[in-house]
Amino acid sequence: MEALVRDSLFGFLQESGLAGSGGEAAALLMEGLVRVNHRQVRSPRTPLRVGDVVSIAGTRSMAVFGVSPGRVRPVL
């Protein structure tokens, strides 16, 4: 099983709740459903920078790396 790496996409998918488990994170990546800043990403080791928006295609689920949820405001 892949180790949880804090600044990697694989770890962030789990920490943010976008994926419920490592298996789900791996499946989302293999199916090509993960987007970082609107770009499809398949590598679990994709490094993330503060402010990167991670989302799951076909859902409204998204999280911003390095920003606490209370500090994110929607753009109208």
Does the structure show a pLDDT above 70 at 4? no
- Range list of H helices, 1-76: 9-15, 22-30
For residue 21, give every residue at least 6 positions away whose Cβ sits within 8 Å of its Cβ, in sequence order, or none. 14
Confidence of residue 1 (pLDDT cuts 50, 70, 90): very low
pLDDT cut 90: percent of the chain above it: 54
Q: What is the pLDDT of residue 3?
A: 45
69's tokens: 């949820």
- In this predicted structure, what is the pLDDT of residue 41? 96
Which segment of 7-11, 25-29, 34-38, 67-71 scores lowest on mean pLDDT? 67-71
Backbone angles phi, psi at 62, to 5 degrees: -155, 155
pTM metric for this prediction:
0.78
Please classify residue 28 by burial: count the beta carbons closer than 10 Å to its beta carbon, then call 0-12 exposed, 13-18 middle and 19+ buried: buried
